[in-house]
Amino acid sequence: MSAERAPPVPFDVAQDRLMALCRPLGTELIPSRECLGRYTRAGLAAERDQPALDLSAMDGYALCGEGMETWRIVGESAAGRPYPEELLQGEAVRISTGAPMPRGGERIVLKEDAIVEGNRLVTAPGSEASARHIRRRGLDFHAGDIVLGKGVRIGPAQLALVISAGFGSGRLTVGRLPGVAVIDSGNELSDDPITMTPSQIPASNGVMLAAMAAPFAASVKRIGPVADTMEALADALDQAGDADVVVTSGGASIGDHDLVRPSLDAWGARLDFWRIAMKPGKPLLVARRGNQLVLGLPGNPVSSFVTAWMFLLPVLRRLAGAAAPLPEMFDLPLAEDMPAAETRTEFVRGSLTRTGVAPLGQQDSSALGALARADVLIRRDANAPEARAGEMVGTYWLQTGGIA
């Protein structure tokens, strides 16, 4: 059967097949503070307790002894400058948030609940000193605890955790990020909206795809726009060099000018699969040339975005070492009825309302306006029956890239 006539690959099968083709790239040792956006390649064990001592969580006074009316203030424990002695019965020290509890300090009275005259302290009527204002040693984690699992993305919070766990001045072993080349192809494309003719189209996909790939890539090389000729495509593929992932946009369908498949063939790439039962994005193709992976995305801008989101980003995350590279789906209620689905798994651009998710009115696969307004992709499985308002539907959050 010719590739044109073979039935399209079901969406989930295609995602699984693609993931099976990717192996995480090697590792590299880089300064911990530069690990933003990287993936851990092994569990990370803390090198210290956090906090390393019992600390005060509030500004106030640390007290020793119970059942007395007044305390004698004998000094101060400030953040980074602890009170050096042991507190004795009836003694108190001024203490600030984050400062170490003095030895013998049992409870904290808040500054606003303390009545102080000279070095005498009494607690205000109705208030009480409490041990709950003490952050105990190891409250966050203990030395040896695995604070980040394997294959976790280091975002800002994880980066702070790495520093807090004792790796501030050291290096971490993280996954290497892939090199990416993005080629947009099409005779009608122009990079210059000022001088182009009305029959031309601004080449928006290349910029969009490069922006999507950038957080997961060591480098992104943009090539084109290039003409729909075998020569121009051959030249563009040569320029892609040894990029780990080559992404093309346009020319993936079966039109007379759709030359991506024959060009890849001439370049020495072997087709793995082509055409997915998804809407938008049916003409997606996947090919390999040695260790290089080629994703041929459809030219329609929304099709290009959705296929990049569902296939390219998972590939990049997997190569970078992600344990869970596929976008996560959440069930949310529908804000309005939706018709029965077609024979392809459909990803409907939707907005988030107070009562749930609502499909946007414009679903054409060229409509960037609706895509830019969308908060979510609503998933409608192939042949799913009509869905009523209030029913739960699978939803992908666009803002988070589907991974949080």
Ligand X SMILES: Nc1nc2c(c(=O)[nH]1)N[C@H]1C(S)=C(S)[C@@H](COP(=O)(O)OP(=O)(O)OC[C@H]3O[C@@H](n4cnc5c(N)ncnc54)[C@H](O)[C@@H]3O)O[C@H]1N2
Q: How many residues bind ligand MOO (CB under 6 A)?
A: 8
Binding site for ligand X (CB under 6 A): 184, 186, 188-189, 201, 203-206, 249-255, 258, 280, 282-283, 298-301, 303, 365-366
Among 398, 394, 283, 288, smallest CA distance to 351 is for: 398
Task: Give me 270's structure tokens.
Answer: 């072997």
In whole angstroms, how close is the CB of 375 to ligand X at the nearest point?
Answer: 23
Q: What are phi and psi of 80, to 5 degrees?
A: 80, -5
Q: Which stretch binds ligand MOO (CB under 6 A): 131-139, 274-282, 324-332, 393-401?
A: 274-282
Residues in the chain: 404
Q: How far apart are CA 243 and CA 38, in angstroms?
A: 18
Task: Give me 76's structure tokens.
Answer: 């101060």
In whole angstroms, how close is the CB of 205 to ligand MOO at the nearest point?
Answer: 12
Q: How far apart are CA 135 and CA 108, in angstroms?
A: 11
Q: How far apart are CA 202 and CA 178, in angstroms?
A: 28
How far, rounded to the nearest angstrom, does the alpha carbon of residue 242 sit from its chain's CA centroid? 26
Does 281 bind ligand MOO (CB under 6 A)? Our answer is yes
Which partner in ligand X, ligand MOO, none is near 299 (CB below 5 to 8 A by kind)? Answer: ligand X
Q: How far apart are CA 13 and CA 262, in angstroms?
A: 25
Pair 102, 85: CB distance under 8 Å: yes
Q: Pick between residue 123 and residue 365 the one whose CB is nearest to ligand MOO.
A: 365
Q: Do strands 179-185 and 71-77 pair parallel, antiparallel, or not at all (unpaired)?
A: unpaired
Q: Pick between residue 184 and residue 346 the one whose CB is nearest to ligand X.
A: 184
Does 300 bind ligand MOO (CB under 6 A)? Our answer is yes
Does 349 bind ligand MOO (CB under 6 A)? Our answer is no
In whole angstroms, how close is the CB of 369 to ligand MOO at the nearest point?
Answer: 16
Q: How far apart are CA 233 and CA 289, in angstroms?
A: 16
Sign of CA dihedral 241, 244, 249, 250: positive
Does 365 bind ligand MOO (CB under 6 A)? Our answer is yes
Q: Pick between residue 318 and residue 344 the one whose CB is nearest to ligand X.
A: 344
Q: Which stretch binds ligand MOO (CB under 6 A): 87-95, 173-181, 209-217, 298-306?
A: 298-306
Which partner in ligand X, ligand MOO, none is near 395 (CB below 5 to 8 A by kind)? Answer: none
Which partner in ligand MOO, ligand X, none is near 186 (CB below 5 to 8 A by kind)? Answer: ligand X
Choice from 77, 205, 249, 303 touching ligand MOO (CB under 6 A): 303
Q: What are phi and psi of 29, to 5 degrees?
A: -100, 120
How deeply is 192 buried, as exposed, middle or buried, from its count of CB atoms within 10 A (0-12, 13-18, 19+)?
A: exposed
In whole angstroms, how close is the CB of 201 to ligand X at the nearest point?
Answer: 4
Pair 223, 240: CB distance under 8 Å: yes
Which partner in ligand X, ligand MOO, none is near 241 (CB below 5 to 8 A by kind)? Answer: none
In whole angstroms, how close is the CB of 179 to ligand MOO at the nearest point?
Answer: 27
* Interacting residues with ligand MOO (CB under 6 A): 279-282, 298, 300, 303, 365
